[in-house]
Every structure is written in structure tokens, then in C-alpha cells.
Amino acid sequence: MAIKNISTRAQICGRSSKCHGGHSAVEQSSYISREKMYNEYDGNTYYPKYSEDLVHTEVMLPENAPKEYENASVLWNSVEMIEKSSDAQLARTYKVELPNEWSYELATEVMRDYVKRNFVDLGMCAQFAIHDSENEKIGQRNLHCHILLTMRSIDENGKWMAKQKKIYLTDESGERIPIIDKKTGVQKVDKQNRKQWKCKTIDTNDWNSRENAKKWRKDITDTINSVNQKMGMTENFWEYRSFKEQGLDIIPEIHLGEKASALEKAGIQSIRGNINREIRKQNAIILQAKATYTQAKKSLASAKLFSAMAIRKVKNEIIDMIQEVSKRNHDRLKLPVLGTKYLRQVTDRATLQSRERMEQFVHEHELTSFDTLKEYKLTNEQKYNEMQSKREYVSDRMQYLEALLYLYESYEPFIKYHKEQWELKGFARKAYERKHIYELESYDLYRNKIKQSIVEPDKKITPKAWKKELTQLEKKLDEIREPFGEVIVNLSSIELLEYNKKELGRMMENEKHQKELSINQSRKKTEQSL
């Protein structure tokens, strides 16, 4: 049986540039349902790119939702119109991979039940659409489901509720707490001379909880495994946990997207496809390194560790501490459960517990005392902060450039129509515009999207420069990766040593207390016998 990691993606659709699930709920609905839709909020009309891959689409509503919301256009236009803010969150998008072996009827039945259990029963309005595409040359299918979810609850009268509500804070006696002006010592008032009270805002529902995405991912995975078992399709076991949660150090591949997938299936390399190919290379290196590391650990276990034995003969308070803790903890150092900054970034923390390994670390870095350990820690923390800042900048910049290039992939096919349009004049141009209305509107749409996403003041569309910079940034990230890993291991080791120093003090104090207790008990017995 093969293990298959399920592919899911949850994103927020909203008007803010930070929302990566689209900027219009109507547009998203048009996209997944493959239907032409008009957005009453901004006056845009959205045309479906494809239609042949649509298997099924429907809207599902909670009991108190208006009947007219069964029409997707009515539902999502209502969502658009209720949100007045320019950075409002409109909807949540959720994409789920499905087994290619499933029939369309089975996929529809399963997803209808899944959407009802996880979303509609909680009060959300939901639209789901099942898509399937196939590369005829290789016979590869891509069965998947798009789910579009509302973010506001609906009250018993069928009206949209507020996303948040204000709660006044109260004191021990249940009285509201006034906001006091520090200068005057008097309670503050607003412009309408109304008294100000301490308060906080809370969500009216728990749909934004970070735990939900994991719960939804686990549920669909369990459902797929259950259905496959009933159908006798046991070739694959679907896994919902991330590589990290499974204890694997490999890097997850990025989502290709519809455009890049189509290019890859046609035998054309895409930017995102190239990124995944590079990730696979890196994963192969990681797995090879892991195998080498495992073999090295076996060799270390069978060695006599002469160098470590020599180290113990040298007077060193850190080495003394390591030996004392090891004697009390099965020849290993203790591992902190919580409160670590660097240790939590190391997957194989058990290796750091090795007495021989930590003694070697102390010797290699010439750490003769806890004072020198403190100095060494400060040096490495400075390196860590510098590298971390650099890594964050490079990673953020790479994500930004990848997003621009991904948008450009959608924009590029329509450039030629814009050029041909302005090469014509008079009636010829008008006839061309009528014939290619979809392509020309798509050109304007994607161009505006790119312009809105570009943070540089000149707003220039320069895909060649973006690709060049992306390549340079990838090299920078590669250069940082190894030394950054070394610094993390060093700081993790220091963290472990500092923790065990405190633990040794606690253990010795406890031993002292137990000894005193034992002496007192012996004394009492002696006195009683007399």
C-alpha cells in the first residue's frame, strides 16, 4: 500500500492585497461554477475561462438562509454588498484533491455530505464545484473540488450578522470599567460627549479558528480512506499530516495552479513546475543525507569514543555538569518539553541528548566554563538574528516575485490581442473588439491585477527582470541554508546545556532534601528505640 499525501488549500478571498484567495467572491463563484456572472459591487462582469472540466456545482444553505441564495449569483452578490470596507474579507476558498478512480456520481455524493457536515451544519452558506481534467496523451486525470464559504453568520430572520461584536470589560463587582485620561484623571468622552468604557471585540463565530483547516483536512482524508476501503480500492492510503508532523524533514512542493498544470501536462515547463522540480532535487539530497546521518550514528554507537574519554580528564565545569546529569538520567541529558526557541527547530533532538555528542561539542568550541558558554551564545544569537532577517527578506521577496510571475502566466496569452487591436483602425478595430471581447477584457483584468500587486512605484511589468532576480535570490537562500543550520544546532546545544545546568541544581537540591529527611527518620527511630 502506497502513502499519498492529500493536497488541500484554504485561502481568504477579500479586497485586501494580503488576501490570496482572490479579491471578489462573485469572481470566485464564476470561476468554480464556470458561469458568466455580474458583480453589483464593482460593476465587473466575469466570464468563465473553461467549461468542459465542470462535473457538478451546487449551493448548500443552512436552514435560516433565504431561499433565493440557492442562486449562486444572488448569494455572492449579497456577500459583496454587505461588506463596505475596502479591505473586507469576503469569503473563504477551500480546494480538495479527490481520488482519480472515483466516479463523478460518487465524488458528488461524498462532497455533498462532507460540505454539509463540516460547513453548512455550522451555519455557513457553501458552494462547491467538482472539476475534472484529463491529459489525453498520457491519460492523467485531475479530479478535485472547489468550495466557497461565507464568513458571516445568518440570524433567525435570514439577515447577515456582524462578524464581530463589542464586549464591555467589567470589574469584580460587574460594573463597566471606565477609560481614564492620564492627564486629567477623569473618564474620557467621545466627540458626542459619550463616556468611554474599556471593551474588546470578539468574533461572533469560530470559523476563523486556525484549528479548522487541520480538522477539515483530517476529515476529508478519513472520508476518502473510508470510501476507498468500502469500494475495495486499497492501493493508496491517504495521509493528512504534513511532512513535519510525520517527522520527515523533506520540503513540501508548492501548489501548481490550473494554468501551470495545463502547461506541464502539455509538456511545457512552467515556473512553478520548475520550482517543484528543484524541491524534488533538494528532497533527494535531504533523504540521502538522512541515510548517511543514520549510518554515522550507528558507527558512533559502535566506536570506543577515545576522544570523549580524553575530554573527561580535563577539568571543565560544563563537562562536570554533563557527567553529573548523565549519571542521574540513564547516560543522557534531559530534554526540555516547553519554552525553547532553537531546540524546537531541530527535528532530531534526541541526538543532542547524547553525552558523548555534547562533550564533543564543548571540546570543539573550547567552552571551558559557563561564562565562555554565555559569550559563545551571544555571538551565535547575533549570527542567527542577522541570518534570520536575511532569510525572511529573501523568502518574502521570492514569494512576491513568484506571485507576480504566476499572474503574468495568466496575462501573457492576451497581450497579442491587445497589440492586434491597436494595429487596426475604424470599423476593423470595432469588429475585432466585438470578436475578441473575452480576450480583451481578460487582458485588462489581468493587467490591472498585476499592477495592483506590484509594490514598486513605477508599476512596470518586467517578467524577465523578475525571473532573473528570483534566480539570484534562490542562490542567496542556498548560500545561507548550511551556515544557518549550523548556528541553530549550536544554539540548540547551548539551550540544552543551560537547561540541564538548572535541572542539575534542582536534582541536587532534591537529593539533599531526601538525605536530610532520611537522617531525620533514622534519628526518630533511634530515639524511639531508646
pTM above 0.75, yes or no: no
Average pLDDT of the segment spanning 71-94: 93
Asked if residue 365 and residue 273 are part of one domain, the reply reads no
Q: Is 466 within 8 Å of 405 (Cβ atoms)? A: yes
* Res 73: pLDDT: 96
Q: Give the phi and the psi of residue 13 in degrees, each rounded to 5.
A: -95, 120
From residue 263, how far is each of 80, 216, 256, 271, 273 by CA, in Å? Answer: 33, 30, 10, 10, 9
* Residue-by-residue DSSP string for 2-65: EEEE--EEEEEEESSTT--S-S-HHHHHHHHHT--EE-TTT--EE--S--TTEEEEEEE--TTS
User: How many whole angstroms separate alpha carbon 204 and alpha carbon 162?
Assistant: 7
Average pLDDT of the segment spanning 240-267: 61
Average pLDDT of the segment spanning 113-141: 84
Residues 333-368 have pLDDT tens digits of: 998 866 678 887 776 677 788 888 899 899 889 898
User: How many whole angstroms separate alpha carbon 523 and alpha carbon 507?
Assistant: 24
Asked whether residue 236 carries a pLDDT value surpassing 80, the answer given is no
Asked if residue 248 and residue 175 are part of one domain, the reply reads no
CATH, residue 24: 3.30.930.30
Asked if residue 376 and residue 275 are part of one domain, the reply reads no
* Residue-by-residue DSSP string for 276-298: HHHHHHHHHHHHHHHHHHHHHHH
Asked if residue 393 and residue 367 are part of one domain, the reply reads yes
* Res 403: pLDDT: 87
Asked if residue 503 and residue 356 are part of one domain, the reply reads yes
Q: Is 334 within 8 Å of 326 (Cβ atoms)? A: no
User: How many whole angstroms separate alpha carbon 528 and alpha carbon 187?
Assistant: 70
Alpha helices in 355-369 (DSSP H): 355-364
Asked if residue 220 and residue 120 are part of one domain, the reply reads yes
Bigger pLDDT: 251 vs 329:
329
Mean pLDDT over the full length of the chain: 84
Average pLDDT of the segment spanning 363-377: 92
Reading the block at residue 424, the C-alpha cell is 487596426
Alpha helices in 119-235 (DSSP H): 210-231
Bigger pLDDT: 172 vs 421:
421
Last residue of one domain, picked from the residues 271, 303, 335: 303
Residues 261-318 have pLDDT tens digits of: 666 666 677 777 777 777 666 655 555 545 444 444 444 444 334 344 444 455 789 9
Residues 448-497 have pLDDT tens digits of: 999 999 999 999 999 999 999 999 998 888 888 888 888 888 998 999 99
Asked whether residue 235 carries a pLDDT value surpassing 80, the answer given is no
Total domains, the chain: 4
Asked whether residue 518 carries a pLDDT value surpassing 90, the answer given is no
Asked if residue 417 and residue 279 are part of one domain, the reply reads no
Query: 3-class SS at 129?
Result: strand
Asked if residue 199 and residue 114 are part of one domain, the reply reads no
Asked if residue 175 and residue 313 are part of one domain, the reply reads no
Asked if residue 448 and residue 424 are part of one domain, the reply reads yes
Q: Taking Cα atoms as reference points, which of 392, 379, 372, 347 lies closest to residue 489?
A: 347
* Res 258: pLDDT: 62
pLDDT bin (cut points 50, 70, 90) of residue 20 is confident
User: How many whole angstroms separate alpha carbon 150 and alpha carbon 109?
Assistant: 22
Average pLDDT of the segment spanning 16-44: 91
Q: Taking Cα atoms as reference points, which of 477, 469, 474, 476 lies closest to residue 404?
A: 469
Asked if residue 173 and residue 55 are part of one domain, the reply reads no
Please name every residue paired with 170 in a beta bridge, in sequence order, or none if there are none. 176
Average pLDDT of the segment spanning 508-513: 89
User: What is the domain range of residue 194?
Assistant: 164-203
* Res 264: pLDDT: 66
Residues 163-183 have pLDDT tens digits of: 887 788 888 888 888 888 888
Average pLDDT of the segment spanning 491-506: 92
* Res 256: pLDDT: 63
* Res 110: pLDDT: 94
Asked whether residue 39 carries a pLDDT value surpassing 80, the answer given is yes
Q: Give the phi and the psi of residue 236 in degrees, each rounded to 5.
A: -120, 140
Average pLDDT of the segment spanning 216-237: 85
Asked if residue 254 and residue 228 are part of one domain, the reply reads no
* Res 205: pLDDT: 85
* Res 86: pLDDT: 85
